[in-house]
Amino acid sequence: MKKIIFTCIAVVTLLTKSAVAQELELPQLSPWAQVSQKFGLAQATITYSRPAKKGREIFGGLVPYGEMWRTGANKPVELKLEGATMINNQKVEPGSYSIFTIPGATDWTIIINKNTELWGMGGYKQEEDVMRFTVKSTTVSNTESFTIDFANVKDKSATVQIYWETTKVSFDIVSEFIEEGKKNIEDAIAAAENTTGLYNDAAEFYLDNDLDNKLAMEWAKKSVAQKERYWNLYTLARAYAANGMKAEAIETATKSHTLAVEAKNTGFAQTVNTSLEEWRKN
């Protein structure tokens, strides 16, 4: 009986030690990080590990030139894309990808690969590459921890920056949102009840992206017909100007400017005034 009890105690002790071991958490040498950026109608999310320099020579030393690199530590960098995008003038389907690189003294090769389940470069297959392209490296101030972030965020694009030590490389991700934007407008107009702002936004989208100026003017007129606001009057003025109707543009923008001043929106009034000055010159 005692033997059975001792055996049970031993089993419980082992199970307890196992549970403790499974719960053990220690600092990571290369902690993971995640950055995300929305631009246009797309979003890019990058997950990666961040090794530290720790006095070592990085490029041309720890990371040899001319050899493929996992780009950071542990798993390769994961890039998740949502929405229609292009990299290096090539369309990339929404989904998750790995980023590998081949660093050079002045040029780097960027590799976008379909396999996101690798650890390091074990199991890498070139036939799973989506694309390879070359970018120039630049010199920056010393960076202790390997870093990836987004910069130059615009309506249609964002720049991915990869830098460590005194070296940085970058490439753009472009949002291909025109067709998606058109479809969203079509669906929204069909479903909406109050379309004053919606018609205005649709007209602005078409004017901003040099699409159908006549359709933009039609939508702007519908917005103004429902209720005159300084902002939709200005959109209509822009649509008139885009269709070569300068007299109508000036008359409508003048009304927009008056309403903007009355609303004490001085910034908007100044924007309208700038357009008025330009249209009056021509």
The model's pTM is 0.72
What percentage of the chain's residues is helix, strand, coil (to nearest 5)? 40, 30, 30
**Residue 109 belongs to what H/E stretch?**
strand 107-113
Task: Tell me which residue has tokens 């649709």.
Answer: 202
Give the contacts of 212 (CB within 8 A, at least 6 positions apart). Answer: 206
Instruction: Provide block-wise average pLDDT over 10 residues at a time, the chain (282 residues).
Output: 47 47 69 94 95 94 95 93 93 96 97 90 91 97 96 94 97 88 86 83 92 94 94 95 94 95 94 94 82
Domain 178-281 CATH superfamily: Tetratricopeptide repeat domain (1.25.40.10)
pLDDT, residue 7, reads 47
For residue range 137-167, list pLDDT tens digits in order: 999 999 999 999 999 999 899 999 999 999 9
**For the chain, which residues make up each domain, given as ranges?**
32-175, 178-281
Task: Tell me which residue has tokens 């929204």.
Answer: 188
For residue range 109-125, list pLDDT tens digits in order: 999 999 998 887 788 99
Contact 148, 161 (CB under 8 A): yes
